[in-house]
Amino acid sequence: KGDKVLLYDSRLDKQWSGKLDKRWKGPFTVEKRLDKESYILSNEFGNLKEPIYSDRLKLFRSRESWKPLIRI
């Protein structure tokens, strides 16, 4: 609960012209885990109505939390 995630926009899979469109929407906040595979998400406007399955989610990492790997 409270993790930030991105939601995969599967409707772009059916469009031939969606090649350059953003496939991941968000970030959303995980509000509740319903079972092992599904979650209730919210955005800044409130909760989403239907459960979202975990295969359409990935963890969101903000640019502020990103640290480059420096090799010498």
* Predicted TM-score (pTM) above 0.85: no
For 35-47, the pLDDT digits (tens) are 999 999 999 888 7
- Indicate whether 65 belongs to any domain: no
Look-up: residue for tokens 């909760």?
A: 47
Rounded-to-integer distance, Cα 2 and Cα 21, Å: 27
* Domain tally, the chain: 1
- In this prediction, residue 66 has a pLDDT band, given cuts at 50, 70 and 90, of low
- Indicate whether 71 belongs to any domain: no
- Indicate whether 64 belongs to any domain: no
* DSSP 3-state of 64: coil
For 4-44, the pLDDT digits (tens) are 999 998 876 666 666 667 889 989 999 999 999 999 999 98
Instruction: Determine the Cα angle at 28 with ends 2 and 4, to 5°.
Output: 45
Tell me which DSSP letter residue 15 carries. Answer: -
